[in-house]
């Protein structure tokens, strides 16, 4: 069992994990200060007969400090978050040369339509409706064009740190660059009905040559 | 203050209803209504726990027959093995019962009712009959929700957040009547909350005793005041959304149904516009009551009382600006995500202020660790973990990975169980003598506290690790995923700890019930507190005061150098105290 985040298999994974670690250090520090303080006070100031508590209504200076420090830290984290967020999810962030794959979600399966050699969806050379198998080339931007037939689903590939809801009536794009060849799993992250738990797909990240070869076979109907 | 004594309310105790029905069932006495809410919500707390245990069984031991599961019908668990469609009912109804029928009424229904008049020196709520109606609407809502478990297709099954269009389309969810009853129940509950909130707000504004100025009110009352405002403004949104959802399900409207032009995200916006203020409804009263208890246990005034009040107000206000942080992955415009992320980061600040002020209250105190104090300090310790873990999901890039995983489940249980429920264990123990005239057993209270504290952390802390690993929420069987298989021993460990945690609650239940009959008679002021409620006999009579008390100071004058004892009741007149101007506290 892993006690840490899953394997990093996309370019955004190190960015997200880096932020996770930074927040863990900051909150870990706050955690130690608060919990340590509570335990220390609980022991040091436990009731003893004949003693009276220190009578005070507060200290404005101390309160300024513990208002300002969290405020600065939180807003700072907000700015850093926004930097990565815009890079990953911003409307204009999708690279122009990204290879498009249409994701059609429905209870309880994923249908992937791959662009053919022309790198465009909606043309005759598309490889349509490959069921529960997402093949992606390593090192090349891939954009998922998500849609849903019935209810809300959510594409979740933990190894890619990729998550994006697929909403009926909406077209939503999510992009990533796979960095590490291998087999991963795609799960549905949004409760979508009684078969939600088994709405999974296999993800294969492979070299450009392997991907092209697979796509050519898939075009003939052989998706294995 | 003779004008006060001459109000028509004076001498209410003499007019207390004597028949059993008027006294205990259709009562207009705020204390009885509070106790009615207490029994109702403790029942639902137990029920919510029973549902959680079944979920934990399935997660720890998927596909195995649940002990005692044989009594469930074939449509839920044939041979005791839980079916997927039953599992998502469990998920849905556990959340629904805990949020709407256990934690919310425990905090607000019970303690707003019970404490506001007693702590402000009022005879009763401003509108006693509306107060009674509020309870009976809640009872009706609970009955409808309970009934939905027994309809043929089963209960609602789209998660407690009831995301459309799954919730709007019986053909896609597989549940028709159960979903409709959910909506009806929520509308009834909304009515109950709106009536209650109106009453609390009016009472706090108008029915304070002479001398009870705004900044002499206990933080419990301040937090209940802001909570009531949130409730009054948020519940109508949920009720409206639930009615729209009901129409989508039954009469063919298309508010949330895309093929005919509906908007699934509209539901999420409406739900969370209610839902995030609701989150603060579920924590603010706990913060307020914990503040009261920590000051009492520390024998010290609350550190930074004014900033505590402003923090409550700030949380109440900012709580309206953060709902979109539940929707970062929903397909909402990512630029909106940025603004919701910043407002969410900002709301951490008043929470931090409160935490440090609680610590400041304990600093150089003379700490008495009675059972309420233990639970209140645990509330702070656990709320902090929930607050800090919230920063991970507020940071939008990190949320991409942990959204809809067990990290969120851990976070929300640290706030709602570790936070609210610990505060509630403390508050129930603390005001139990005021409710029933007897004390709960101290030793069993401490045993219950320590066992709960340890087991609680063993159950919920590992869920952070599950979430980091990508373990999705609301899935029936994690073992079908290769990447989750290694986590199965941890799931089993969590389940076993959860079963023991649940069993340990029997100590609290028994302590509660046995003390009703066998507990030692409470002295008038068992915690040596300053609050107005402790100037009354235990339990307090109908109408509370024969003569409305006069208030000379704030509620937290512990260890004051002015007196020998380490507490100084709000009503005790010292030679230097002046009589308050009549208008200062408003008319009784």
For residue range B249-286, list pLDDT tens digits in order.
999 999 999 988 899 999 999 999 999 999 999 999 99
pLDDT at A153 over 70: yes
Shortest CA distance from A53: residue in chain B: B365
Task: Confirm or reject contact between A61 and chain B (CB < 8 A).
Answer: no
Q: What is the pLDDT averaged over residues B68-76? A: 92
Confidence check: pLDDT of A155 > 90? yes
Q: Is the pLDDT of residue B586 over 70?
A: no
Confidence of residue B588 (pLDDT cuts 50, 70, 90): very low
Task: Answer yes or no: do B391 and A74 touch at CB < 8 A.
Answer: yes
Query: What confidence category does residue B136 fall into, taking pLDDT thresholds of 50, 70 and 90?
Result: very high
Task: Tell me if B278 sits within 8 A of B269, measured CB to CB.
Answer: no
Structure confidence at residue A111 (pLDDT): 98
Residue A64 contacts B where some CB pair is shorter than 8 Å: no
A3: pLDDT confidence band, cut at 50, 70 and 90? confident
| Band of pLDDT at residue B584, cut at 50, 70 and 90 | very low
User: What gap in Å lies between CA B303 and CA B322, rounded to an integer?
Assistant: 28
Does A53 lie at the interface with B, CB-CB under 8 angstroms? yes
**Residue B362 sits at the chain A interface (C-beta within 8 Å):** yes
Which helix (H) or strand (E) segment holds residue B10: the answer is: none
> Which chain B residues touch A45 with a CB distance below 8 Å?
298, 362-367
CA dist A14 and A8 (Å) reads: 7
- When pLDDT is cut at 50, 70 and 90, the band that residue B6 belongs to is very low
pLDDT tens for B551-569 read 999 999 999 999 999 999 9
- Give mean pLDDT, residues A84-96: 94
Best mutation target among A18, A167, A172, A183 (most B Cβ atoms within 10 Å) is A167
Residue in chain A nearest B385 by alpha carbon = A31
Q: Mean pLDDT throughout B388-404?
A: 97
Query: Which of B344, B484, B444 has the alpha carbon at shortest distance from A81?
Result: B344
Q: Which residues of A touch B334 (CB under 8 A)?
A: 85-86, 89-91
Largest CA distance in chain A: 89
**Mean pLDDT, residues B4-25:** 65
pLDDT at B4: 41
B 156-185 residues inside an 8 A Cβ radius of A = 157-159, 163, 165-166, 169, 172-174
Q: What local confidence, expressed as pLDDT, does residue B23 receive?
A: 84
Report ipTM (2 d.p.). Answer: 0.97
CB-based contact (8 Å) between A169 and chain B? yes
Q: What are the sequence ranges of the domains in chain A?
A: 12-89, 99-219
Contacts of B477 in chain A (CB under 8 A): 197-198
CA-based nearest distance B10→chain A, Å: 36
Residue with tokens 């020998």: B564
Q: Work out the average pLDDT over B114-135.
A: 96
Per-residue three-class SS string for A167-182: CECCCEEEEEEECCCE
On whether any CB of chain A is under 8 Å from the CB of B482, the answer is yes
Residue of B nearest to A163 (CA): B400
Q: Residue A91 has what pLDDT?
A: 86
Q: What is the pLDDT of residue A2?
A: 78
In order of B105, B287, B310, the CA distances from B317 in angstroms are 22, 16, 10
What is the value of pTM for the model shown? 0.95
Whole-number pLDDT of residue B583: 52
Q: Does A42 reach chain B within 8 Å, measured CB to CB?
A: yes
pLDDT band at B3 (very low <50, low <70, confident <90, very high): very low
Token reading at B298: 């520390």
Q: Per the CB < 8 Å rule, is A35 touching B163?
A: no
Q: Does A158 touch chain B (CB under 8 A)?
A: yes
In this structure, are residues A151 and A168 in contact, taking their beta carbons and an 8 Å threshold? yes
CB atoms B472 and A15 under 8 Å: no
Average pLDDT over residues A76-92: 94
Q: Cβ A81–B398 below 8 Å, yes or no? A: yes
Which pLDDT tens digit goes with each residue over B173-232?
988 999 999 999 999 999 999 999 999 999 999 999 999 999 999 999 999 999 999 999
Least confident range from B21-30, B222-231, B260-269, B302-311: namely: B21-30
pLDDT band at A60 (very low <50, low <70, confident <90, very high): very high
A99-219: in CATH 2.60.40.420: yes
pLDDT, one tens digit per residue, over B488-510 is 999 999 999 999 999 999 999 99
- Predicted local distance difference test score (pLDDT) of residue B24: 85
DSSP assignments along A30-96, one per residue: HHHHHHHHHHHHHHHTB--TT---------HHHHHHHHHHHHHHHHHHHHHHHHHHHHHH-TT-S-T
Contact A163 B166 (CB under 8 A): no
pLDDT at residue B18, rounded to an integer: 77
**Contact A71/B at CB under 8 A:** yes
A190 interface with B at CB cutoff 8 Å: yes
* A19-33 burial: b if 16+ Cβ within 10 Å, else e: bbeebbebbeebbee
The pLDDT assigned to A112 comes to 97
Is residue B9 over pLDDT 80? no
Lowest-confidence pick of B47-51, B259-263, B482-486, B537-541? B259-263
* Beta strands at A172-177 and A141-148: parallel, antiparallel or unpaired: antiparallel
Chain A, residues 8-37, CB within 8 A of chain B, namely 12, 15-16, 19-20, 23-24, 26-27, 30-31, 34-35, 37
Residues in chain B closer than 8 A to A188 (CB atoms): 472
Residues 396-435 of B with CB under 8 A from A: 396-398, 400-401, 403-405
pLDDT for the residue numbered A221: 83
CATH fold, domain B27-585, is Cytochrome C Oxidase; Chain A (1.20.210)
Average pLDDT of chain B is: 94
How close is the nearest chain B Cα to the Cα of A71, in Å? 6
- Indicate the pairing of strand A109-114 with strand A127-131: antiparallel
Q: What is the CATH number of domain A12-89?
A: 1.10.287.90
- pLDDT single digits (tens) B429-483: 999 999 999 999 999 999 999 999 999 999 999 999 999 999 999 999 999 999 9
Select from A30, A62, A163 the Cβ nearest to the Cβ of B401.
Answer: A163
DSSP letters, B90-118, are HHHHHHHIIIIIIIHIIIIIIHHHHHHHH
Mean local confidence (pLDDT), B152-158: 93
């Amino acid at each position: 069992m892993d006690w840490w985040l899953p394997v990093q298999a996309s370019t955004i994974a190190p960015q997200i994990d880096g932020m996770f670690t930074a927040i863990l250090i900051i909150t870990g520090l706050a955690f130690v200060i608060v919990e340590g303080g509570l335990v220390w006070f609980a022991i040091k100031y436990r009731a003893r007969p004949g003693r009276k508590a220190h009578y005070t209504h507060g200290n404005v200076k101390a309160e300024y400090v513990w208002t300002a420090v969290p405020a600065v830290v939180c807003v700072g984290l907000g700015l850093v978050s926004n930097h990565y967020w815009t890079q990953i999810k911003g409307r204009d962030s999708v690279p122009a040369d990204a290879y498009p794959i249409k994701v059609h979600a429905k209870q309880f399966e994923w249908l992937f339509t791959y662009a053919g050699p022309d790198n465009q969806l909606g043309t005759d050379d598309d490889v349509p409706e490959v069921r529960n198998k997402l093949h992606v080339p390593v090192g090349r931007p891939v954009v998922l064009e998500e849609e849903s037939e019935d209810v809300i689903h959510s594409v979740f590939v933990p190894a890619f740190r990729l998550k994006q809801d697929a909403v009926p009536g909406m077209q939503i794009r999510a992009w990533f660059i796979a960095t590490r060849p291998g087999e991963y799993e795609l799960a549905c992250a949004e409760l979508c009905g009684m078969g939600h738990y088994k709405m999974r797909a296999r993800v294969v990240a492979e070299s450009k040559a392997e991907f092209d070869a697979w796509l050519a076979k898939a075009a003939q109907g052989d998706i294995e | 203050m003779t004008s006060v004594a001459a109000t028509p309310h004076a001498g209410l105790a003499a007019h207390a209803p004597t028949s059993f029905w008027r006294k205990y069932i259709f009562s207009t006495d705020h204390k009885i209504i509070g106790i009615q809410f207490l029994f109702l919500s403790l029942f639902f707390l137990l029920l919510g726990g029973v549902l959680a245990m079944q979920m934990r069984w399935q997660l720890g031991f998927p596909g195995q027959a649940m002990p005692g599961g044989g009594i469930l019908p074939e449509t839920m668990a044939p041979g005791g093995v839980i079916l997927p469609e039953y599992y998502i009912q469990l998920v849905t109804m556990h959340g629904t019962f805990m949020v709407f029928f256990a934690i919310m009424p425990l905090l607000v229904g019970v303690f707003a009712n019970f404490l506001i008049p007693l702590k402000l020196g009022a005879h009763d709520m401003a509108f006693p009959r509306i107060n009674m109606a509020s309870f009976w609407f809640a009872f009706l809502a609970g009955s409808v929700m309970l009934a939905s478990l027994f309809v043929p297709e089963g209960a609602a099954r789209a998660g407690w957040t009831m995301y459309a269009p799954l919730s709007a389309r019986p053909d896609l969810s597989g549940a028709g009547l159960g979903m409709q009853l959910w909506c009806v129940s929520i509308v009834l509950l909304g009515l109950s909350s709106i009536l209650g909130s109106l009453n609390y707000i009016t009472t706090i504004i108008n029915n304070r005793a002479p001398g009870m100025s705004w900044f002499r009110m206990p933080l419990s009352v301040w937090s209940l005041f802001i909570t009531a405002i949130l409730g009054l403004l948020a519940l109508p949104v949920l009720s409206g959304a639930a009615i729209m959802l009901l129409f989508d399900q039954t009469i063919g409207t298309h508010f949330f149904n895309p093929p005919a032009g509906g908007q699934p995200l509209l539901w999420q916006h409406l739900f969370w516009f209610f839902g995030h203020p609701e989150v603060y409804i579920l924590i603010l009263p706990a913060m307020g009551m914990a503040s009261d208890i920590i000051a009492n246990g520390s024998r010290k005034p609350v550190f930074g009382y004014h900033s505590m009040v402003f923090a409550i107000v700030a949380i109440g206000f900012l709580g309206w600006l953060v709902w979109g942080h539940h929707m970062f992955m929903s397909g909402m415009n990512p630029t909106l995500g940025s603004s919701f992320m910043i407002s969410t980061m900002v709301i951490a600040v008043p929470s931090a202020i409160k935490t440090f002020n609680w610590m400041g209250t304990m600093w150089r105190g003379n700490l008495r660790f009675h059972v309420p104090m233990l639970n209140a300090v645990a509330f702070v310790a656990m709320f902090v973990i929930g607050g800090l873990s919230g920063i991970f999901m507020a940071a939008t890039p990190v949320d991409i990975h942990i959204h809809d995983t067990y990290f969120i489940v851990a976070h929300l249980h640290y706030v709602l169980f570790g936070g609210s429920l610990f505060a509630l264990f403390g508050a129930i123990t603390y005001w139990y003598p005021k409710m029933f005239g007897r004390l709960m057993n101290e030793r069993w209270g401490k045993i219950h506290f320590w066992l709960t504290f340890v087991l609680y952390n063993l159950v919920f802390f590992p869920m952070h690790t599950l979430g980091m690993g990508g373990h999705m929420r609301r899935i029936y069987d994690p073992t079908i995923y290769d990447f989750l298989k290694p986590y199965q021993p941890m799931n089993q460990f969590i389940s076993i700890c959860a079963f023991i945690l649940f069993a340990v609650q029997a100590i609290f239940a028994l302590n509660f019930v046995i003390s009703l009959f066998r507990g030692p008679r409470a002295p008038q002021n068992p915690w040596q507190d300053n609050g107005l409620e402790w100037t009354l006999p235990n339990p307090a009579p109908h109408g509370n005061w024969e003569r409305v008390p006069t208030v000379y100071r704030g509620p937290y004058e512990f260890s004051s150098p002015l007196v020998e004892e380490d507490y100084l009741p709000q009503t005790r007149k010292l030679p230097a105290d002046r009589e308050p101007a009549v208008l200062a506290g408003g008319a009784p």
